[in-house]
A and B are shown apart, each in its own frame.
Chain A
Amino acid sequence: MTIPWLTLLGLVPLVGAASLLLPVKELSRVLGMFFGLLTAVLAIVVTTLYVGGAALAEQVPWIPAFGAWWALGLNGMSLLMVVLTALLTPVVLLAEWKLPNAGRWSPQVFVALVLFLESLSLFTFMADDVLLFYLFFEATLIPMYFLIGGFGGERRAAAALKFLLFSLAGGLVMLISVVGLGVVSTDLGGTPTYLLAELAKLPIGAELGRWLMVGFLVAFIVKAPMVPVHTWLPTTAEQATPGTSVLLVGILDKIGTFGMIKFCLGLFPEASLWVAPVMVILALISIIYGAVAAIGSTNLLRLVAYTSISHFGFMVLGIYTFTTVGVSGSIFYMLNHGFSTAALFLVVGFLINRRGSAMVADFGGVQKVAPILAGVFLMAGLSGLALPGMSSFVSEFMVLAGAWSRQPWPAAVAALGTVLAAVYIMLMYQRTMTGPVTEASATHITADLNAREKWVVAPLLAIILLLGFVPGIALDLVNPTAAATISHVGAPDPVAPFGGEGK
């Protein structure tokens, strides 16, 4: 009997979440960390197996009446997302170790919700059945809703509702398409099926395909917050704890770009080509608007949220260039952005913990009082602006190269975004860290990073640097997926794919 590794991987954090329903009180963090690390180890095992060429896909009938299967599988892209999820979760747990027991909800609930969310996200990334994907995609809203609404700032309940309604509205538009897809599969194939592999073979008519694709796309645009449906993200990030924001922006929002590649391009290649011009323009607007809004932000958490909106613009741009380089870069960007945004959010979180405020104006001269904190803040920031040597540089370059090879002008506009990125990061650093030590900084920021906090950022920065210097380890996984996607879409590649650099 073969071991169902993928199911196992998704179930471990779920078991962890369930075990936290027991009154374990003080042990909850340790227990949560145990399950988080166990999942990470399992993810590494799965990665090794995948690289070794083991057959990991699982397929068991689930709801025959709808043609739905318990089908899990991995490709290069989903593997990276799984690894990202499994690595970020323990980091978040460690970062929120000292989550104040602020009366209403105990840290135990937080840990349980994080693990529950991890389990659902893992299944979302691994699902090879559209109904199964949709189920987990929507289900992630429940723990995320409670994470936002239960822990964080004063107006968190309103932020949670805003997040929920945006996501739910997008998700339900997608539901129309998914229901339609099931009906179409019955009409065309005789049997209802939601298996991705089967659906991709169906000869769906051009017009119908476009309608169905738009349904999927709406949900993904809301999820990977693109202007103009991004407004929920800054509100949410401002109110949620930094750990929650990491999970939200670092993992959950990736489902948006992930879904565009896996479902929009995978199921509706013709319709995706048709919609590409619109998506490129939307992506460019996101890049510029996000960057400008970040420059104008007075709140650190909102600022980081806006930088993410700009970054998501890059990812979407990469996808809709329809070049292997662009799509590869976009997938790699998804991974890098996860780590660099996590580092930014968490370091900002450390700052806010000390100062008791998230306003940029309340800081000043921090690098003199807390040099290590300022140092990692700078590192995280530089990763956010895609400095060469950081992993994000590679992916951003690939996206721009892909865009350029298709059409120069979007690449030119996007390149403007990289300049603006330097502005928002450096301005933020200048305002908060440099200059004379303000009175407030001196009174509040009395301690530099402690050991726990160092252990939070160290792995993140290490990964960012590692992938910056040896991007090949990730790109080797991604390139086949990107190439397969592009050949499925059928758009001729204007340049030869690359990806071996840095090896």
Chain B
Amino acid sequence: MNITAPTFEWLELAPVLIVLTAAILGVVIEAAVPRAYRLVSQVGLMVVSLVAALAVLVENFVSQRSGTLVSASMVLDGPAYLAWAALLVFGLLSMLLFAERRLGNGSTAFAASAAAVPGSVSESEAAVAQHEHTEVFPLALFSLSGMLVFAAANDLLTAFVALEVMSLPLYLLSAMARRRRLLSQEAALKYFLLGALSSAFFLFGIALVYGYAGSFGFRDIATSIGAPVYGDGLLLTGMGFLAIGLLFKIGAVPFHNWVPDVYVGAPSPVTGFMAICTKFAAVMAVVRVFYVALGAERWSWQPLIAAIAVLTMVVGVVIAVAQTDIKRLLAYSSISHAGFILVAVVGASVGTAAGASSSLASIVFYLVAYGFATVASFAAVTMVRDAAGEVHSITGWSGLARRNPFLASVVALAMLSFAGIPLTGGFIGKWAVFTAAWRGGYSWLVAVAIVASVVAAYVYFKVIIAMFFGEPVAGVEVGKASGFTLVPLVVGAAATLYLGLFPGQLLDLATAVGTFLR
């Protein structure tokens, strides 16, 4: 038996490798650099590495490097480029929030000593000594590297490994909130247990599909669907299990139960990171698995995903109506957005030569618009504070426009984008996914999605009403933030507006390069 050594396409892989190396260097910094300099060196390393990765990515793109990587276990094609660029940008923006110290009077949003029992002496000692967990940066970078691989994985095994690399650091990060630590730890445990369960489903799905196709590779699976050796049973069951694992990560109903609790319990910067980057990577993986590997079988999975999309949108928006906590509201909103994205996934429409946008282009645009609005809203969440830390109740946000019109306007813009009101990126995003679904023959799904949008609008306008028309609540202040929070806030708002007014470039780019390399 001959085993050929895999070839490494170093240049193509460079963005992933840079992020991974930075993560490892970050661990070294924890061991070698004195406490006082750790934060600054971690932030510096993070920014430099992500910018460098982005630069290499752009270089690769301009030089038109593409193809399968590492013996076809990964693939660098148009969608992978788009996903990587977006993940690096959103990763950078949300990790900047990790470094904010001015808002918390000199301490970050993370526990002084996560290992100490909440309320114990050692915890207060660590707090007095102003310890802080700068490990969050390498952890997030590890997670980000997993996401990059996940979005470009070309076989199921690579996808699974990437999924775990992406998830494990997130479980840890979720447990590290400085305030309300028990809630945070509970959230992390819940996330971990459910995440492990979903991974098990995913793994089982991999086994079944392997049994059917005799290979993990997406291309081989697609080939064997065309010329089946075994009956459909293995494939369909395997497909179902794969779907469970993937849909769990994007927070689709009925696999969404972890989302609200984890979003609330985790430190807000981490929630922002999860809400954008995890969702982005997972959606890209969903699209790749279902389009590339299982594309020939789409008559089987389309009804299933359509049903899940309906459930996700409806449950997401209806439960969001009843929320009184801004982070829970954002959590249910993120669930409903997963539903809207699935609407486009179901459409599975391809672009036309004349330049009509494809499902993939619409999904990418939707995610980017959602990402910028999410960055801005989580940056805002960290800024509204009272004596006990962040204020999460929507009644606490009442009258925010009078305390700080700028912040309230940014939040309003993000909410309008979530609601899909024109002049924001969210509107064009909705338009794109609806067009994709309709073109795929799912006009009824578009109708359902639009009904859900009306309900969703009510949810977001509730926040706007509170901020603009409510009376200010005593004790709630808008904290003085440093650039680490203000940059993501302003960039998120500006990009939301830009995408609403000039969506052409991104849409055209996504349409032009949005074909999978099979």
Which residues of A are at the interface with B, using a C-beta cutoff of 8 A? 61-67, 104, 131, 134-136, 138-139, 141-142, 145-146, 149-150, 156-157, 160-161, 164-165, 168-169, 172-173, 175-176, 179-180, 182-183, 186, 190-192
A135 and chain B: residue at smallest CB distance: B422
Query: Residues 490-512 of chain B: 1 if any A CB is under 8 Å from the residue's CB, otherwise 0?
Result: 00000000000001100110010
- Contact between A179 and B457 (Cβ–Cβ < 8 Å)? no
A191-B355, A192-B355 known; A149-B457 Cβ under 8 A? no
How far in angstroms is the closest Cβ of chain A from B501? 10
Complex contacts, B416 vs chain A, CB 8 Å: 142
Interface contact B355-A64, CB-CB below 8 Å: yes
B356–A191 contact, CB under 8 A?
A: yes
**28 examples of A-B residue contacts, CB within 8 angstroms:** A62-B504, A64-B355, A65-B355, A66-B356, A66-B357, A67-B356, A104-B402, A104-B469, A134-B422, A138-B422, A139-B423, A142-B416, A142-B423, A149-B469, A150-B469, A157-B469, A160-B465, A165-B454, A172-B451, A176-B443, A179-B446, A180-B443, A180-B446, A186-B439, A191-B352, A191-B356, A192-B355, A192-B356
Is A172 within 8 A of B453, CB to CB? yes
Binding-face segment, B38-46, B214-222, B270-278, B430-438: B430-438
Q: A182-B435, A190-B352 are in contact. Are A63 and B504 (CB under 8 A)?
A: yes
Residues of B within 8 A of A67 (CB): 356
Instruction: Assess whether A186 is in contact with B356, with CB atoms less than 8 Å apart.
Output: yes
A65 in complex: contacting residue of B421, B446, B507, CB < 8 Å: B507
User: SS class of chain B's interface: helix, strand, loop or mixed?
Assistant: helix
For the A-B complex with A63-B504, A104-B469, A138-B422 known, give 7 more contacts whose Cβ atoms are closer than 8 Å. A65-B511, A149-B469, A164-B457, A175-B434, A180-B443, A186-B354, A192-B352
B450 interface hit (Cβ, 8 Å): yes
Closest chain A residue, CB of each to CB of B469 = A157
Instruction: Assess whether B447 is interfacial by the CB under 8 Å rule.
Output: yes
CB-CB under 8 A from B432, the residues of chain A are: 65-66
Kindly list chain A residues whose C-beta atoms are within 8 Å of the C-beta of B461: 145, 161, 164
B443 surroundings in chain A (CB, below 8 A): 176, 180
| Of the residues B402, B421, B450, B503, contact of A138 by C-beta under 8 Å | B421
Tell yes or no: B361 within 8 A of A by CB. Answer: yes
Binding site for A on B (CB under 8 A): 352, 354-357, 361, 402, 416, 421-423, 427-428, 431-432, 434-435, 438-439, 443, 446-447, 450-451, 453-454, 457-458, 461, 465, 468-469, 503-504, 507-508, 511
Q: How far is the CB of B222 from chain A (nearest CB, A)?
A: 27
How far apart are the CA atoms of A64 and B361 in the complex, in Å? 13
A residues in contact with B427, CB < 8 Å = 135, 138
Decide if A168 touches B454 in the complex (CB within 8 Å). yes
In the bound assembly, the distance between CA atoms of A464 and B332 in angstroms comes to 53
Cα distance, A134 to B431, chains bound together (Å)? 11
Q: Is A192 touching B423 in the complex (CB atoms < 8 A)?
A: no
Q: A64 contacts which of B431, B447, B453, B504 (Cβ < 8 Å)?
A: B504
A9 to chain B, nearest CB (A): 19
B356 pairs with A65, CB closer than 8 A: yes
B507's partner among A63, A142, A146 (CB-CB below 8 A) is A63
A165 touches B457 (CB 8 A): yes
Q: How far is the CB of A136 from chain B (nearest CB, A)?
A: 7
- From B355, B435, B468, B508, A149 is in contact (CB under 8 Å) with B468
Question: What is the CA–CA distance of A136 and B451 in the complex, to the nearest angstrom?
Answer: 21
Most buried by A among B356, B423, B457: B356
Which residues of the other chain, A, contact B511 by a CB distance below 8 angstroms? 65
Known: A139-B421, A157-B465. A176 touches B355 (CB 8 A): no
Contacts of A136 in B (CB 8 A): 422
